[in-house]
Chain A
Amino acid sequence: MIPELGRAAVLLGLVACTTGAVTGMWAGKTGREDVWRWTRWAAYTFTGAIAFATLLMEYALITHDYSVKYVAEVGSNETPLAFTIVSLWSSLDGSILLWAFVLSIWSGIFAYKMRNQHPEHAPWALGSILAVGIFFTFMVSGIANPFERVLEPLTNGPGPNPLLQNHILMVIHPPTLYLGYVGMSVPFGMACAALLSGRMPTAWSRSIRRWMLVPWTCLTVGIILGGWWSYEVLGWGGYWAWDPVENASFLPWLTATAFIHSSMVMERREHLKGWTLALVMATFLLTLLGTFMTRSGVFNSVHSFTQSPIGPVFLGFLGFALVVCIILLAARVDLLTQPTTKLAGPWSREFAFLGNNLLFAAFTFTVLLGTLYPLLNEVLTDVQISVGAPYFNRMSVPICMGILFLMGVGPALPWGNSEPGVLASRLAVPAGLSVVILIGCLLAGLREPMALMTFALSGFAGAVTLRELTEPGRHRAATLGESLPKALLTTWRTGHRRAGGYVVHFGVVIIAVAIAASSVYRSETEMTLREGSTKSFMDYDITYTGSERQDEPHRWSRVANFEITKNGRDLGKAAPRLNHYKKMNQAIGTPTVISGWDEDLYLSLVQVDPEAKMASLSVVVEPLVWWLWFGGGVMLFGSLIAGWPSQRRREIA
């Protein structure tokens, strides 16, 4: 029953979004209110149908209905419930269904929110979003149909990929990433609407910005959670490896971040309209490219799904979307109103944003090149080469330094032309602080140039950010005689977009420091311990107290127990383990991380020999890792402040 019902729901969704795409364009062209209403109903039907199909799939997974192809591929009776639920996104067909589901939710929300707003643009936008929906629903209904009926169902299945059932973060990381990734279709549709209608009023560009901010936030959180997941699961003590899949999520984040900055120039100065819209389109296209990279089997990656027939179809869609974007931009960009003023000179905020955009574009190009280069080289010369982490690190460090520097300079500059002297006076204190930090680090014996530069520039950017956050409040307190906390809160509330933006900058500064410290000052060793013996590394004493076997329905594990003390202070027990899953011949480790605000002790089991009573461990001590996750939290908090609907707008609505 479920295979047929699921297929029917998907087909209904396909009909609904096809209808909505057509009527949306029609309503945009004619401005007819009734056609616009049909379009919204088509979007709601799309949401309902795909949501129903997704729930059916979850039901099939939970009830172990092996007559459904996807359940037969990833389900198993022994997998714990939480991982059964999340196995929706553990394999190819399910992940495409999840994509369609998230897109349907976004289009439903967009249709509802836009019901009384922007009548000139909203129908075009919803039509474009639903047009994207056609492709994904088409995939789910045919070539990647997860609901296919298994004619002779078995009574048990292989279970999802063991790596994906190893940590609870797998429950939230992929959906957050998908919310961001797929959510980029909404600003894309809105950019198409601006070009199709040939008009880009400020209200619409503000609206695009808001709709970009939400998926951008989800993508940011998703990327950081992904880093956290690989840190907690993969066992090498790192959080970022420049793997094609990580790059796939990072690329659209870069262009979206560039957009968030250039859109401010567009709003205030009417400049960079074509460029800003191109960034929105590039962001969307990069999400498609990323999905293609992970699902086509063309790229080799720890994350990639198996080879599948969807690759060529996906590439066809990517090519089609590229052509549509370019023709739209080329044909319509000159219709958008041109700025009446010239872009201000080098001592202006506009100019700093321009620099920021160039750096982000260079960053995007660097990462894209590194990701595609092995394939390019192989196609051209038939020689395989590998672009490893060293290339990415070498290229990205100077760009990140430039971005940190501009994070300090940009906010200190006023909009419009000013004098170099203004900048010098505003930057004197932050620059002084960065020199103090530099001297402090040198006195403390730190010598690595990359870390020193990062710390100094972070101090610089952090000081400017702090001043920009508090200056309006301090000014208000001085002129109106209010108490400082009250004045600060008032200015943050009225200027929440600005304040939120600076909080995000704070998060970035924290993350920059954490990355530099944890990658430059990481120390690691390997040790083999006999039961009862103790070995020391850095400030830690590690005592091996023996190992045990733990059996669970879906796996068995060898757990090694250690007692840890730091400078004589008891840190408790650590129990890294090696997990053996059914039908997998390689063991998968679960490292133990003892996290502190100053540093993490990372223990990952290499080998256990219960008979000889020996255990081999890989031990990593990494400073400030905890601050990386904390910085991610700060970024999320800042985005929430910036994106929160303002009092006035809520009243109008």
Chain B
Amino acid sequence: MNWKVLTAGAVITVPLVALLAEGFNRDPKLRSNALEGRQAPIFSLTTLDGDPFSLDEANGKPVVVNFWSTWCQPCKIEHPVLLRAAETYGPMGVHFVAVLYQDDASKARAYLNRSGSHWPTLEDPGGRTAIAYGVAGVPETFFIDASGTIVRKVSGPVSQEIMVTTLEQML
């Protein structure tokens, strides 16, 4: 018996199988709902223009927090939906905030100049806010009501329909 091979094998096998087995207790599709009904994590970040922004600023107003990046095609598909929603619901008091995810500020600035936006886009150094929100991939959108509770989390692009119904419920 070659004990070196055996030990090396055990060192690989046991944690790997244990890890995968533990994975069964965690449904990746349910994961996204873990934050729903909880208080939204507070963040203070700076916008692409260098201005400070804190979630507290929304005090008492509903907020839509959208995590996105320029390398994500579904985010671009989602962009017109956000634009339209911000045009309609922004004047009704809903705050829209975008958080840039694993991306360069310069690319984001160039994209937003081309495609337009009516909301602050925040830089998230080290992805701390994304981690606090459990972002598993972009786009992900969090609907936070006036009391600061996460009402809904959408993974993947938000459709026009979901956007409107969720916002109507929140108002």
Contacts and interface: CB of A to CB of B under 8 A. Distances in A.
Interface string B121-160: 0000001001100111110000000000000000000010
B134 A383 contact: yes
B1 A330 contact: yes
Given A322-B13, A384-B134, A334 B2 contact: yes
Given A383-B131, A386-B136, A329 B2 contact: yes
A318 B17 contact: yes
A379 B13 contact: no
Contacts of B80: 606-607, 616
Nearest to A528: B80
Interface string B18-40: 01111110111101000000000
B117 interface: no
Given A237-B73, A379-B22, A326 B5 contact: yes
A592 interface: no
Nearest to B137: A386
Contacts of A325: 9
Contacts of B16: 322, 372
A292 interface: yes
Given A297-B28, A298-B24, A315 B17 contact: yes
B20 A315 contact: yes
B171 to A, nearest CB: 24
Contacts of A606: 76-77, 80
Interface residues of A, number: 49
A293 to B, nearest CB: 9
A86 to B, nearest CB: 25
B92 interface: no
Contact of B3 (A298, A330, A376): A330
A401 interface: no
B28 A292 contact: no
A376 B9 contact: no
B46 interface: no
B13 A300 contact: no
Nearest to A616: B80
A236 B135 contact: no
Given A298-B23, A375-B19, A525 B5 contact: no
A526 B131 contact: no
Contacts of B27: 297, 307
A553 interface: no
Query: How many interface residues does chain B have, given as a range?
Result: 35 or more
A376 B5 CA distance: 24
B28 A315 contact: no
B9 A326 contact: yes
A195 to B, nearest CB: 11
A385 interface: yes
A299 interface: yes
Contact of A296 (B10, B24, B131): B24
A372 B71 contact: no
Contacts of A375: 19-20, 22-23, 26
A69 B161 CA distance: 33
A237 B31 CA distance: 29
Given A292-B20, A300-B28, A375-B19, A333 B2 contact: yes
Centre residue among B26, B115, B127 by max chain A CB count within 10 A: B26
Query: Which of B28, B76, B114, B115 has the most chain A CB within a 10 Å cutoff?
Result: B28
Contacts of A616: 80
A583 to B, nearest CB: 16
A389 interface: yes
Contacts of B115: 526
A157 interface: no
Interface in A323-343: 323, 325-327, 329-331, 333-334
Given A379-B19, A606-B76, A525 B3 contact: no
Contacts of B114: 525-526
B76 A618 contact: yes
A381 to B, nearest CB: 10
Contacts of B17: 315, 318-319, 322
A607 B115 CA distance: 14
B76 A384 contact: no
B26 to A, nearest CB: 6
Contacts of A327: 6, 9
A445 interface: no
A419 interface: no
A235 B28 contact: no
Given A300-B28, A319-B17, A526-B114, A236 B2 contact: no
Nearest to A525: B114
Contacts of B137: 300, 386, 388
A274 interface: yes
Nearest to B13: A322
Nearest to A299: B28
Contacts of A318: 17, 20
Interface of A: 234-238, 274, 292, 296-300, 307, 311-312, 315, 318-319, 322-323, 325-327, 329-331, 333-334, 372, 374-376, 378-379, 383-386, 388-390, 525-526, 585-586, 606-607, 616, 618
15 contacts: A236-B73, A299-B28, A300-B29, A300-B137, A322-B12, A322-B16, A331-B2, A375-B20, A378-B26, A379-B19, A379-B26, A388-B102, A526-B114, A526-B115, A585-B159
Interface of B: 1-3, 5-6, 9-10, 12-13, 16-17, 19-24, 26-29, 31, 71, 73-74, 76-77, 80, 101-102, 114-115, 127, 130-131, 134-138, 159, 161
Q: Which 10 A-B pairs have the closest CB atoms?
A: A326-B9, A236-B73, A300-B28, A298-B23, A330-B6, A384-B134, A330-B5, A319-B17, A322-B13, A330-B2
Given A375-B19, A378-B26, A607-B80, 16 more contacts: A234-B73, A237-B73, A292-B20, A296-B23, A299-B23, A322-B9, A322-B12, A326-B9, A330-B2, A330-B3, A330-B5, A383-B134, A384-B131, A386-B135, A388-B138, A606-B80
